[in-house]
């Protein structure tokens, strides 16, 4: 071990201090570890050495000339000096040059107060300039995109933004045009720079050249109250800083956590927080449309629930939650329904999934250290953008290989060493075939006709998995049909049993806390921590003798029972079944038949309109608690804004109190502590342990179901594949959102052969019909999926694509009409 340490690290002296750092560390980073500041502009640790700004010149003994600390890897025995007269003169000289044409408009510049150029000039710069000529004037404040403003006069051509576009985003959208002093950051033909990750250039810009258009001139940076919190959009749970002033959201910036986001956030995180001040928020509890006090509303909910349970039994009430809730909120709700109302009618999703994994739960960092990533049915670019960046980094800079198995084309195909496209709806057969191949047997002969993937190709996938040392499987359970998730987990179990390969997996459902919702037991058949109903003794020990042991209704079954009149009361929490459930257009009618519908949500939704009682949910920005990301990392989401409404878990505890619960948690941390005590896997989750970088929860029990034989599907027309879109026009990103320019028109993606069969051309306006519903869309002949299927991106709530899907069916058949 000792020898390994000696070869992996180097020891050098910087300004008399001895530093030991890993081999390959740049001197500028080595200096940081002992609190010596070497000023930089162009260098950024995530972008690597570049050396164009010359700000970090240092002297090294035995080197004839000064050298840039950002391009010099620390060497054994190096003696570095950063404060000599020569270095100081160089720093002054470089800054004088940098400032030659830089306008001194700091008093009106948004970067003022947090500007590296300003700071470095104060610390290292000359007090004056010798420049006698007029400054070179360039365009002030022009839009680089609808959300980013570029001030080319302030630009010092450090190229951080263009290198970010090239190295991190991988699309080279932003480049340096022209040369010399006419150097100019721009896009091709000055088109808007509107990628999914464009906002990060604002944070890395060391001057005020790139600024947030929405934040411009709204507050000085030193007047902001900055709260370290988490993003509440996708399931990556990136760390971010919420800047607020006078209890209003002003801006969102990155808060680097290498274990989660690698220092970046997507544009939805940066500009997708307008909902905190939207007029569509539910701000007050109401009963039959009239505002009421929160206590009155809770009393009413509890009394009604109690009356219904007494009259029709516990199975007549139900709870539909969602992965948008915090662990504390979801935990409280399942506890309310299980221990206070005595029912397992609890669910949070419409697809099949089970908690836990038969193999290790890999964290995001494992993506980089694996030899092979197997990406199944997932489109990280649209679903989990920061995973997209992590995968690109692993593929292009860490030498990781990737296999993509998907029924639709994604931007990830470009980075994969093998990309297989199976027929829409054939994932069950494909995964069963993969399982057979992993077991070393040959697949069934009709595999290719059903899935569009040959057994040889699957054999190649199996061989790659077997020959790799460490394999990370990333799968999206939402995009798997029927009960193929069980087949997938059997595959994982088989792969996990391979002698020479370490296999881990990451369930990549896109919703914020989908892993947490599974862990918290918001499921009809599993208690928190993956505790199966069959384990009656363990359940009784933890949840008391009255804890229900019979399987409850799933979300879709609850809707069905509401329609038939067997379910009398439903609490819908942070979910909008009328739009987001399959056969959504029929959900409304079913919900109207309920004696009691309570909607507990953040925004006004179609479902909330039908509710007798509406309760306000505070949501990201206002709420506090923990979420579990796709890597199983539990992190603390803190609040940057305050409201008079009680927290969601508090509302639940008020209802529970009315139902006779004697003890109530004092604050949210008491709920977190209760989770640590009650939920397997969360034993170590304490506020102090997760405050900085979060902490991986231990494995929860893996409760797998048996896969039904999803053979071939019969029907006429094409099989529907609904694709997620990052900037979807929904309740969170409404028409007034900063990101409204990113909304897409409704399109339907067809294969050439199917387009011919239906006689449609590129750009045709068509109606996609099925399940007694139709969706208008424009035809794109993109071959995005195999013949026999069509891809319909879910671009808005209004579009209503989920109504095309038939509730309870593995696949849905649709047809095209002109």
Strands 613-616 and 286-287: antiparallel
Question: Which listed residue (180, 289, 660, 759) binds other proteins by CB under 8 A?
Answer: 180
175: contact with other proteins by CB under 8 A = yes
* Span from 168-176, 246-254, 339-347, 448-456 in contact with other proteins (CB under 8 A): 168-176
Q: Which is nearer to other proteins, 156 or 775 (CB)?
A: 156
Q: Which is nearer to other proteins, 159 or 423 (CB)?
A: 159
Token digits for 311?
């009259």
Q: How far is the CB of 163 from other proteins (least distance, A)?
A: 12
Distance CA 292, CA 282 (A): 13
Q: How far is the CB of 186 from other proteins (least distance, A)?
A: 8
3: contact with other proteins by CB under 8 A = no
Q: Which is nearer to other proteins, 175 or 460 (CB)?
A: 175
198: contact with other proteins by CB under 8 A = no
What are the backbone angles phi and psi of residue 420, rounded to the nearest 5°?
A: -110, 135
Question: Which listed residue (179, 500, 564, 716) binds other proteins by CB under 8 A?
Answer: 179
Q: How many CB atoms lie within 10 A of CB 39?
A: 24
Q: How far is the CB of 289 from other proteins (least distance, A)?
A: 53
The H or E element that residue 376 is part of is strand 372-376
Q: How far is the CB of 450 from other proteins (least distance, A)?
A: 35
Q: Which is nearer to other proteins, 186 or 481 (CB)?
A: 186
Strand ranges (E), 596-654: 596-601, 613-616, 625-628, 633-637
Question: Which listed residue (25, 98, 187, 653) binds other proteins by CB under 8 A?
Answer: 187
* Cα 777 off chain centre by: 27
* Span from 172-180, 313-321, 491-499, 734-742 in contact with other proteins (CB under 8 A): 172-180
Question: Which listed residue (188, 291, 667, 693) binds other proteins by CB under 8 A?
Answer: 188
List CB contacts of 218: < 8 A, sequence separation 6 or more: 250
Q: Which is nearer to other proteins, 68 or 187 (CB)?
A: 187
What are the backbone angles phi and psi of residue 162, rounded to the nearest 5°?
A: -70, -35
Segment 530 to 559, residues that bind other proteins, using CB under 8 A: none
Give yes or no for a contact between 431 and 487, defined as CB atoms under 8 angstroms apart.
yes
Q: Which is nearer to other proteins, 123 or 397 (CB)?
A: 397
The dihedral of CA 512, 514, 515, 519: what is its sign? positive
Token digits for 79?
């003696």
Q: Which is nearer to other proteins, 369 or 417 (CB)?
A: 417
Token digits for 374?
């197997």
Give yes or no for a contact between 207 and 111, defined as CB atoms under 8 angstroms apart.
yes
Nearest to 734 by CA among 386, 381, 271: 271
DSSP 399: -
Q: How far is the CB of 262 from other proteins (least distance, A)?
A: 23
Q: How far is the CB of 271 from other proteins (least distance, A)?
A: 23
Nearest to 784 by CA among 441, 452, 407: 407
- Number of residues in contact with other proteins, rule: CB under 8 A? 15
Where would I find the H helices in 143-225?
A: 160-163, 200-204
Q: Which is nearer to other proteins, 177 or 609 (CB)?
A: 177
Three-state secondary-structure class, residue 501: coil
* Span from 180-188, 215-223, 472-480, 611-619 in contact with other proteins (CB under 8 A): 180-188
Token digits for 171?
């699309």
Q: How far is the CB of 781 from other proteins (least distance, A)?
A: 19
Burial letters for 80-106: b for 16+ Cβ neighbours within 10 Å, e otherwise?
bbbeeeebeebbeebbbebbebbbeeb
Q: Which is nearer to other proteins, 173 or 518 (CB)?
A: 173
How far, in Å, are 399, 580, 601, 622 from residue 794 at the CA level? Answer: 34, 10, 21, 28
* Span from 181-189, 609-617, 629-637, 743-751 in contact with other proteins (CB under 8 A): 181-189
Left if phi > 0, otherwise alpha if psi is -120 to 50, otherwise beta: which for 82? alpha
Question: Which listed residue (172, 283, 709, 712) binds other proteins by CB under 8 A?
Answer: 172
C-alpha Rg value of the chain to the nearest Å: 28
Q: How far is the CB of 188 from other proteins (least distance, A)?
A: 4
List CB contacts of 707: < 8 A, sequence separation 6 or more: 428, 432, 483, 484, 486, 487, 490
396: contact with other proteins by CB under 8 A = no
Q: Which is nearer to other proteins, 402 or 652 (CB)?
A: 402
Q: Which is nearer to other proteins, 50 or 362 (CB)?
A: 50
Q: How far is the CB of 187 from other proteins (least distance, A)?
A: 5
189: contact with other proteins by CB under 8 A = yes
Q: Which is nearer to other proteins, 186 or 304 (CB)?
A: 186
171: contact with other proteins by CB under 8 A = yes
Strands 57-60 and 67-68: antiparallel
666: contact with other proteins by CB under 8 A = no
Q: Which is nearer to other proteins, 186 or 746 (CB)?
A: 186
List CB contacts of 173: < 8 A, sequence separation 6 or more: 165, 187, 188, 193, 195
Distance CA 274, CA 278 (A): 6
Burial letters for 540-559: b for 16+ Cβ neighbours within 10 Å, e otherwise?
eebbeeebbeeebbbbbbbb
Question: Which listed residue (30, 174, 430, 630) binds other proteins by CB under 8 A?
Answer: 174
Give yes or no for a contact between 582 and 807, defined as CB atoms under 8 angstroms apart.
yes
Q: Which is nearer to other proteins, 159 or 799 (CB)?
A: 159
Q: Which is nearer to other proteins, 136 or 188 (CB)?
A: 188
Segment 296 to 355, residues that bind other proteins, using CB under 8 A: none
Q: How far is the CB of 185 from other proteins (least distance, A)?
A: 10
Distance CA 296, CA 332 (A): 20
Q: How far is the CB of 159 from other proteins (least distance, A)?
A: 11
Query: Taking CB under 8 A as the rule, which mask of x and - marks residues 117-156 in contact with other proteins?
Result: ----------------------------------------
Give yes or no for a contact between 187 and 161, defined as CB atoms under 8 angstroms apart.
no
What are the backbone angles phi and psi of residue 435, rounded to the nearest 5°?
A: -60, -45
* Span from 13-21, 82-90, 187-195, 475-483 in contact with other proteins (CB under 8 A): 187-195
Segment 8 to 47, residues that bind other proteins, using CB under 8 A: none
Residue ranges binding other proteins (CB under 8 A): 166, 171-180, 186-189
């Amino acid at each position: 071990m000792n020898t390994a340490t000696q070869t992996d690290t180097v020891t050098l002296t910087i300004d008399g201090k001895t530093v030991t750092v890993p081999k390959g560390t740049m001197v500028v980073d080595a200096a940081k570890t002992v609190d010596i500041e070497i000023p930089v502009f162009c260098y950024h640790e995530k972008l690597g050495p570049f050396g164009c700004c010359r700000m970090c010149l240092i002297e090294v003994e035995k080197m004839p000339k000064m050298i840039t600390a950002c391009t010099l890897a620390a060497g054994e025995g190096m003696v570095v000096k950063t404060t000599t007269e020569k270095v100081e003169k160089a720093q002054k000289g470089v800054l004088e040059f940098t400032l030659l044409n830089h306008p001194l408009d700091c008093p009106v510049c948004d970067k003022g107060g947090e500007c590296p150029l300003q700071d470095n000039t104060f610390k290292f710069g000359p007090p004056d300039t010798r420049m006698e000529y007029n400054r070179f004037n360039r365009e002030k404040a022009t839009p680089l995109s609808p959300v980013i403003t570029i001030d080319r006069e302030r630009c010092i051509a450090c190229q951080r933004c263009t290198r970010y576009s090239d190295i991190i985003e991988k699309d080279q959208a932003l480049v340096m045009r022209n040369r010399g002093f006419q150097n100019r950051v721009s896009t091709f033909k000055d088109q808007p720079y509107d990628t999914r990750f464009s906002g990060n250039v604002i944070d890395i810009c060391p001057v005020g050249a790139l600024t947030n258009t929405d934040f411009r001139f709204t507050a000085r940076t030193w007047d902001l109250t900055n709260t370290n919190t988490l993003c509440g959009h996708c399931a990556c749970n990136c760390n971010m800083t919420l800047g607020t002033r006078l209890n209003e959201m002003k801006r969102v910036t990155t808060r680097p956590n290498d274990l989660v986001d690698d220092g970046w956030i997507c544009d939805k995180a940066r500009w997708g927080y307008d909902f905190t001040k939207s007029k569509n928020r539910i701000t007050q509890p109401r009963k039959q449309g009239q505002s009421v006090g929160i206590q009155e509303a809770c009393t009413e909910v509890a009394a009604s629930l109690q009356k219904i349970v007494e009259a029709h039994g516990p199975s007549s009430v139900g709870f539909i939650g969602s992965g948008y809730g915090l662990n504390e909120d979801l935990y409280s709700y399942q506890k309310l329904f299980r221990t206070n109302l005595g029912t397992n009618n609890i669910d949070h999703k419409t697809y099949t999934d089970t908690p836990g994994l038969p193999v290790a739960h890999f964290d995001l960092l494992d993506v980089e250290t694996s030899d092979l990533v197997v990406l199944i049915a997932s489109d990280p670019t649209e679903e989990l953008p920061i995973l997209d960046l992590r995968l690109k980094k692993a593929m292009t800079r860490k030498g990781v290989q990737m296999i993509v198995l998907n029924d639709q084309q994604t931007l990830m195909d470009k980075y994969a060493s093998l990309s297989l496209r199976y027929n829409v709806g054939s994932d069950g057969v494909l995964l069963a075939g993969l399982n057979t191949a992993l077991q070393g047997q040959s697949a069934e002969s009709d595999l290719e006709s059903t899935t569009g993937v040959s057994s040889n190709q699957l054999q190649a996938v199996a061989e790659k998995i077997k020959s790799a040392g460490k394999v990370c499987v990333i799968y999206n359970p939402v995009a798997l049909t029927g009960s193929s998730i069980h087949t997938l987990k059997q595959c994982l179990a088989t792969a996990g049993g391979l002698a020479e390969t370490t296999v881990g997996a990451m369930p990549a459902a896109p919703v914020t806390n989908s892993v947490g919702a599974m862990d918290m037991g918001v499921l009809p058949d599993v208690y928190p921590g993956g505790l199966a109903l069959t384990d009656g003794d363990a359940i009784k020990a933890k949840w008391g003798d009255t804890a229900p042991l019979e399987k409850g209704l799933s979300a879709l079954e609850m809707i069905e029972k509401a329609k038939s009149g067997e379910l009398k009361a439903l609490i819908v929490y942070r979910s909008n079944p009328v739009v987001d459930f399959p056969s959504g257009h029929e959900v409304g009618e079913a919900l109207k038949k309920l004696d009691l519908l309570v909607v507990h949500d953040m925004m006004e939704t179609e479902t909330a309109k039908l509710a007798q009682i509406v309760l306000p949910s505070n949501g990201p920005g206002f709420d506090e608690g923990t979420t579990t990301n796709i890597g199983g990392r539990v992190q603390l989401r803190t609040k940057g804004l305050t409201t008079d409404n009680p927290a969601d878990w508090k509302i639940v505890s008020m209802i529970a109190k009315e139902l006779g619960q004697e003890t109530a948690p004092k604050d949210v941390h008491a709920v977190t502590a209760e989770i640590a005590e009650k939920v397997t896997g969360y034993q170590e989750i304490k506020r102090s342990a997760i405050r900085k970088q979060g902490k991986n929860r231990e494995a929860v029990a893996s409760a797998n179901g048996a896969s039904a034989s999803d053979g071939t599907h019969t029907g006429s027309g094409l099989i529907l594949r609904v694709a997620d879109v990052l900037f979807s026009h929904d309740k969170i990103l409404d028409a007034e959102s900063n990101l409204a320019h990113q909304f897409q028109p409704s399109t339907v993606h067809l294969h050439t052969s199917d387009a011919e069969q239906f006689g449609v051309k590129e750009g045709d306006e068509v109606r996609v019909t099925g399940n007694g519903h139709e969706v208008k869309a424009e035809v794109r002949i993109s071959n995005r999926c195999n013949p026999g299927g069509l891809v319909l991106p879910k671009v808005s709530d209004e579009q209503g694509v989920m109504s095309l899907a038939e509730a309870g069916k593995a696949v849905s058949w649709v047809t095209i009409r002109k």
